[in-house]
Structure 1
Amino acid sequence: MSLTSVKKAKSSLGKARQVFLYVAPFPALVFFKIWISLGRDPGSLFIVAGSMLAYCSICLALALRWDKPTYFDWAIWAYFLAISLSLVLWKEATAPILVEYAITGVYLCLFGAAFLPPILRLDPFTYHYAKKLVPQAFWSTPVFANINRVMTFVWAGIFAICGLLSLYPSSVTRALVPISMIVGLGIPFNLLFPDYYLKSIGLPTMAAMRGSGDLSAKNAAAVSDKKALPDVVACRLEPLGSTVPPKSVQRQAETTDQSQSERSTTLKVIAINSSPRADGTSKTGIMLEALVGGMREAGAEVETVHLRQKVVKNCIGCFTCWTKTPGICVHKDDMTNELFPKWLEADIAVYATPLYHYTMNATMKAFVERSLPTLEPFFIPNEGGTRHPLRHKLPQAVVISVAGFPELAVFDQLSSYVRFLFGRGLLAELYRPAAEVMKLPEFSETSRDILSATADAGRDLVQSRKISNETMERITQPIVDPDSLAKMANMFWKSCIQEGLTPKEFERKNLVPRPDSVQTFMMIMSRGFNPLNAAGSRAVIQFDFSGEIEGACSFRIENGLIEAKEGRSEKPDLTIQSPFDIWMDIVTGKSDGQQMFMEQKYKAIGDLSLLIRMKELFGNR
């Protein structure tokens, strides 16, 4: 039998024990109650009571061995002990009374177990059961105490009413009505009241609290009180003085002693995307999709969460999650009810954010700040500094971010922050500079390699919890030289400003950025080149510009490829002589090229068939 099977068997055995302990004492009461109601001979009363006492003693011993006895265990055992002793000492006097009022004694026993502990400043009897169902951090709160106090006194009231009714000798008052009250009132009240109370004071429901604690709703009932304490993990921070550049930052989390079967279990990953873009233009989303694709291929169970679709309110610094409801945020939103529990259950959390002002964007920052319930308020020393202790074991972290700037150093501030934030729990950082140009056709080959490497990184993280240096170098490889990128970006932004359009609106209209120099014109023409339409063509097209911007450039087309060169060509097949502004109006669609030619706004010398094919050859934009 495998270790996993053994653990499952032990877990099932533990659950069976708990169920047995919950119900074991009550069959004795039920049997005794039925036996009395059938009018049995008082002479055999001692034998039955003694047998029930022996049975309850066994149940009590098992409870002491496996968990701890409840008030009901002790009360029922004491009830049969009292009956047995009274029959030994005063048999003639007590036997008739017991036969007549034994059922009343049963309800009196249950009433005492429910009513007396709170009066004596002991925990309510419901504590024993409630602690199996909610996170340990909630046990010491006033809310938990209030809920259980109300439930305890409601049950005490039910038992008291049942006891009073049982004084009247009738099957209706001694059986039908009491059972109806217990099944129709007591049990539904137990199920509904906690959520009603929590909602009435503006707190999350029981389901949300179970998800945010160390004990899940699935296995909470099978865990004993001694095992219900959460793991407090000492999160040690990496030294912040490291000079390792972001592209080579790779950390392998501290490993724990795990069996082979535990290592083979499915890895749970939550991928959190804070990009506000939802139309397929998000480079953050594109990189994240490649990463999680590789993770899934390696066998991980990955759920992607788009924060733009969720309601995550800002932390308001009220510290309710530290005091009134430890571990539970005061906000009732998607973070509390859905994301926080999923995040805690994950083995790895991927934080995907665009770079805003040299760090994560506000959406991701709000998510991170709402993780405050994972901390306890106390101050403890930490490698020469101070920190808060953790109340939960947190998922390991992977950070992925993109930026428009071409230098990798632009991520330094973000890298410093996440290294401080996640410490040794940080598995890897994946940063992609100059990400905006990944969508451009002329960089498609490099972009495909970057995304392929990102998928490889996802597989590596699942299989070995680290990313190879080769893969990291492919992810961060240069895609365009900084000078060319600056010219392209400035040309684009000037065009947006001139048109009075946002970048999204500009691209939606399929507009072409207006070149402001011969160099940027060469870039635009190269970007617009259509290799499929140029297949089999061989030609050199030259442009001679005049006016405010003067200069010349040529484009050599051969075998579906284009080569741009500044200056004049010796033997061009077509030469276009034009004022710079006139031709830029044609390029950007402001003017019709054929109309401008007819009006002699520019000249074309040489193979005019190339002029006719101009839109065909450069029509990618």
Structure 2
Amino acid sequence: MNIFVINGSPRGEKSNSYQLTKAFLRGMTLALGKAPDTEQVNMKTVSVNELHIHPCLGCFSCWNKTPGKCCIQDDMQEIIEKLLWADVIIWSFPLYYFTVPGGLKNLIDRQLPMLLPFMTERKDSFGSGSHPSRYDISRKRNIILSTCGFYTAEGNYDGIYSLFDHMCGKDQYTALCCGQGELFRVPELSERTEAYLKFVEKAGQEYVKGGIQESTWANLRQLLYPKETFEAMADASWGINRESGEKESESLIFTRQMAALYHKAAYQGKDLVLEMYYTDLNECYQILLGREGSSVFTDGSQTATTRIETPYTLWRSIAAGEIRGDEALMKKMYKVKGDFHLMLQWDTYFGSGKTSPEGAIKKNGAAQGEDCRNLHIPPRGTNMNLLLLPWIIFWAAASIHSYNGSLLSIASCAVIPLLFYRNKKTIYDTLTAALVIGFSLGIFLGAPKRILLPLSYLSFGIMWTASCFRKIPLTAHYSLNQYGGEGALQNPLFLKTNRILTFMWGILYLLTPIWTYFIMGTRITALTGAINSILPIFMGIFTAWFQKWYPAKVASGD
């Protein structure tokens, strides 16, 4: 297969439209490389901005004086040779004033030598007349890959479609046109644009295999960002104050674009004010997050609910993914004052784009969740209730009635695994089942309950405490569901918070066997499970408080 790529952007390979093209080509080459007995793939690429192509003179010498040859001696003759050589022609370009860029239009005009001068009717009945091709191009396939600066391609490509309908035949080419093209060059938004480019790559694979599937087209038609969000970011990017017309600073432009990512659906009944103080510039801006959207204030007139003190260069690096925000926070490279709730829920307020400091505390798993939503597959999370339930049943039931309690505990360990089709299992779930069944069998077979029950608490405490010395402490496997998914495991503050909590829970259950042993020697032995549930209730309250207090304390730099 011979593939000829015509990059019609004046920006060459740095263009936004060429990002689409590279993704589509990756998909094509991947599919062709895996196909059995595939013919050799040859690819040639030209950038129109590097070519020397004069405008057509309209002299018709290529028709009547030197048939098939243009009188102008420039690079166009080589282009015609490649057009005739190609099996697939990819036209890559941005939308310029509702049509193709000027240089590419010159190239298209100069295809006249490839036509015969005679009048003919088109087979597709498009237009009111045509000229037949000088060559057999019936098997050539054409693809349009284009971006534009509007929020959507819909309604803006009529001129392009009309041109290519005339050139290639109506419905005889494939067009993938994407709005919001300027976002492809913004590193802070790369998470969203890269997700879109994955679908473009998939489209390239499917094109080779026979055609792009409707499900892929549906994903390609999705907006990168909602109209309101995109247009706010686009307006801010010019750096011109809408009222005064004056040029704005780079840091203010960045802050406005960050504010544009606010999801007003996240509004929780109370206005929030995020204050960004860029310490290296001594500049301070406030973002009001309200019911109707976001507003940026430059006069300090609002009362901040959350204040971030950071070097501007650092925040840009975090937003661009050059440094992890959570790591920078742990290293005290920036501070967060006031209500830390906004940082914990950063993705909820500002989405999954990397304009956040990797969520500071929360983020990091958004890519996984986003992928699952695009594929319409709910992400599978861990569930601590499934870990605790066998233990609770054993401690409560076995302390009341040895025989029936042991049977009930074994039954729970047999039934609970059936629930894991909806949840992700951890090593601690597996270890729990083995230990509970082991202790239940021991009591069932007549082992002293007063010995085995304290030992069960001890083993539970050892499991928690020992996990503190592993890379990921036990509680982190389960609390990550509230903090963005698996990506939270890369967050050092998240891990440290959970390591402290896991250790404290472990110590509690290492001590529990002591008083359990003595309680079981009294008349209230049947109440052992109930008594041992009192301290965990208070510990649970403490855990909920500590999860909020400790990250906020670290973030404040105190």
TM bin, normalised by shorter chain, reads 0.3 to 0.5
Normalising by structure 1, what TM-score?
0.41
Normalising by structure 2, what TM-score?
0.45
- Larger of the two Rg values belongs to structure: 1
